[in-house]
Structure formats: C-alpha cells, structure tokens
C-alpha cells in the first residue's frame, strides 16, 4: 500500500505541474516553435504579474509620467493608435511608430531596425531613450527599491527583495511573452470552427498570392528586414537596418511587421505614415519606389482591381482578435497592486 501511496503522490505532483504549465501559457497549436528560450526564463505567475505591474507603471520614466503602456495600449493590440511617431516625456516625439506587442516569443530581433537582439533587453531601449522615458535603469531600481510594495513583489517573484536590473528585465519579458494573439476569425477558420465568406475567401487567395512571402502565415510576418519601396521621409532620414549594420545592402530595410490585429494598430509603416489600410494597399499597387535594395518580391507591381482590394481588406480584417484586445489579464492591473499609483 505504501508503494502505491508514493506512486499516487508522484502522479498528483506530475498532474499539478502539468496543469500549472498549462495555466501559465498555452502555445497555439498551429504556430511554429517559439524562438524565445523559455528554459532560461521559465514562466511563473508571480513574475508575469510583476512584469504586468511594471509595464503599466510610469515610475519607469524619469519624471514618472510615461509607462510602457502609454505607447503600447492593450486595446490597440499594444500599439499606439492615432500617433504616427512615439511619444515620450515632456511631450517629445520620437522617430518611429510604436509597434504592436504581440507574439513576441516568435521574434528573433526587436525594434524596426533589429537594434535589439533579445526580448529580455528590449525594455532598456525605451526606458533610456531621451525622447521616450529618458530614465536610467539604475535610477529605476532605486525608485523601485524605495517603494513600499515593490521589494515584496520582487521577493515573491524571485526570492530576493534586492532588486536587480536582470530581475526587472526578466519580469517585463515574462508579461510580454504572454501577449499571444491567435484567436482571430482566421485562426478559427484554420481549426474549422468558423468559415470565411466568399469575399474573405477571395481576399485570402489574393493574400496568399501577393503578400504571404513576407507576411507569412500563421504569424503574418517572417520578421525579416525588407525594403518595401517607401520613399524616404526627408524630415526623418531613417535608413532602418543600415543604422545598425552600416552595410549598403541594408539601406532602407525595416522589419516586416505582423498583420495580425491591424484593425486596432493603425497608423501603419515604421513612421506611421499611412492612416488607412487603403493607403497601404495603394502604396503596394501604385506607390513603390525602386531603389537598389528594394525587396525582390516587389520588383513587379502588384496589380489589384478595386473589387479585389475590397476583398483583400475583408480578409485582413479576419486577423482581428477581439478576445486578445479585451483580455482582462493584459489590461491595466487593479490599483491595489500598482505600487506607485497607490503612493500618489
């Protein structure tokens, strides 16, 4: 009997462990294997919760006014609707459009030019950028350490109330890793839980013919760097990937963004120059500017009739994931757990 008792205990422990893993994060079955190495930063409910509080806390900026969520709002698929360029402290304007923060576990590099090589260290860029949060990580840690609640939250998450840069970054990464959007009509169609209308079906076929090479299913991006034929905005003179590598072949290349949730994440392109989806489609049919580094896929103009354009948009709207943008687990955390909000 004793032997069976042990077996039973082991079985129960195994089951609970499996359930916990399951409850922390479920990877969509139709997605490829994530790029992020979860073994190095295993997801934990307390670390995710801490990361969420940090994400929404303006304490991360030098004058305590700007949080990550200021430019990455959950209702906009964690992009910044209506703002072409990022906003920061003292009403400053940056040079790039705030991208949607979704399905980050599948991305190798971050920022429009791939300046950041790992999700863990991404947050350092906006925190320290003088036109975004204008703060220093060491000072953020001082502020967190002095707060009445953060040391406890860090102790609960990492077993150490002494706050380190590594722990701040790992928890922010954990929250962002949970931002998985895979519950759109397109996803339901894939698993046969929904059917496309004839218009959406036609749009899907057009998408596969003209867009799928770079905006590849099911993530709707390869996250590769491409020159998509946008004329240079001479007020910004942004050469994209070239800024990082200084290789001529990288001039004007920007990371291909995902098309998921584009209904919520306008305006479009790295500098947010297009307000409407129709502007984007017009660019691909009529606006491509040929330069040396233009993506080979765009050498021949894409030809679409007006009717086809409408069908294509109908399909693109099936990528909207309402459950994601209204998921309470991603929204502003209850006030009681936002330490700096409580202090005010």
Partner 1 sequence: MRTFCLFILYCMSIPYLNAQQNVRISFLPLVHSKPLVLGTINMDSLSHDSVRIDAFRFYVSNIVLLQDDSVVFRENTSYHLVDLADTNSLHLRFAVNEQLVYNTIQFQLGIDSLTNESGALGGALDPTRGMYWAWQSGYINLKLEGYRNSCPTRNHLFEFHLGGYRYPFNAIQPVSRKLPMQTNTYTCAIDIGTFLDQISLAKNNHIMSPSHAAVNLSQQLADLFYFLP
For partner 1, the closer of residues 46 and 131 by Cβ is 131
- The answer to whether 157 touches 171, Cβ cutoff 8 Å, is yes
Task: Pick one of 65, 92, 245, 327: the residue that binds partner 1 (CB under 8 A).
Answer: 245
For the segment 106-125, give every residue that binds partner 1 (CB under 8 A). 115-121, 124-125
Greatest pairwise CA separation for the chain in angstroms: 79
Counting contacts by CB under 8 A, is residue 234 touching partner 1? no
Cβ proximity to partner 1, 15 vs 162, nearer residue = 162
Please tell me whether residue 138 binds partner 1 under the rule CB under 8 A.
yes
Environment class of 68 (CB within 10 Å of its CB; exposed 0-12, middle 13-18, buried 19+) = buried
User: Considering beta carbons, is residue 65 or 128 the nearer one to partner 1?
Assistant: 128
Applying CB under 8 A, which of residues 41, 103, 202, 318 lies at the interface with partner 1?
41
Kindly determine how many residues on this chain lie close enough to bind partner 1 according to the rule CB under 8 A.
Answer: 28
Question: Which of 66, 169, 259, 298 is close enough to bind partner 1 by CB under 8 A?
Answer: 169
Radius of gyration, alpha carbons of the chain: 22
Task: State how far the Cα of 25 lies from the Cα of 23, in Å rounded to an integer.
Answer: 6
In the set 141, 252, 253, 314, which binds partner 1 (CB under 8 A)?
Answer: 141
Least Å distance, CB 288 to partner 1, is 29
d(CA 77, CA 79) in angstroms, rounded, equals 6
Compute the half-sphere exposure of residue 208: CA atoms within 13 Å on the CB side of its CA.
Answer: 6
| In contact, 102 and 179? CB cutoff 8 Å | yes
Query: How many Å from the N-terminal Cα to the C-terminal Cα in the chain?
Result: 59
Give the interface with partner 1 as residue ranges (CB under 8 A): 37, 40-41, 115-121, 124-125, 127-129, 137-138, 141, 164-167, 169-170, 173, 244-246
């Amino acid at each position: 009997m004793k032997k069976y008792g042990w077996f039973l205990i082991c079985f129960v422990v195994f089951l609970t462990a499996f359930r916990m893993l399951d409850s922390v994060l479920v990877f969509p079955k139709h997605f490829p294997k994530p790029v992020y190495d979860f073994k190095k930063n295993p997801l934990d409910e307390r670390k995710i919760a801490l990361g969420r509080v940090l994400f929404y806390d303006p304490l991360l900026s030098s004058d305590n006014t700007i949080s990550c969520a200021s430019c990455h709002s959950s209702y906009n698929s964690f992009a910044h609707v209506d703002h072409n360029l990022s906003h920061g402290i003292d009403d400053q304007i940056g040079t790039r459009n705030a991208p949607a923060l979704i399905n980050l576990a599948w991305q190798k590099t971050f920022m429009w030019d791939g300046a950041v090589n790992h999700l863990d260290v991404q947050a350092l860029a906006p925190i320290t950028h003088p036109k975004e949060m204008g703060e220093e990580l060491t000072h953020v840690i001082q502020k967190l350490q002095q707060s009445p609640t953060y040391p406890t939250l860090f102790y609960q998450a990492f077993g150490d109330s002494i706050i380190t840069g590594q722990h701040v970054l790992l928890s922010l990464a954990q929250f962002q890793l949970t931002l998985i959007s895979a519950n759109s009509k397109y996803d339901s169609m894939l698993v046969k839980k929904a059917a496309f209308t004839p218009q959406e079906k036609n749009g899907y076929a057009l998408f596969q013919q003209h867009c799928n090479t770079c905006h590849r299913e099911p993530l709707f991006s390869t996250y590769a760097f491409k020159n998509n034929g946008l004329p240079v905005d001479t007020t910004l003179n942004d050469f994209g990937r070239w800024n990082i590598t200084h290789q001529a072949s990288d001039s004007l290349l920007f990371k291909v963004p995902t098309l998921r949730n584009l209904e919520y994440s306008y305006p479009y392109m790295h500098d947010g120059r297009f307000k409407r989806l129709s502007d984007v489609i017009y660019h691909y049919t009529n606006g491509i500017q040929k330069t040396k580094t233009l993506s080979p896929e765009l050498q021949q103009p894409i030809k679409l009739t007006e009717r086809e354009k409408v069908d294509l948009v109908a399909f693109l709207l099936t990528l909207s994931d309402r459950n994601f943008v209204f998921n309470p687990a991603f929204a502003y955390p209850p006030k009681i757990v936002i330490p700096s909000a409580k202090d005010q």
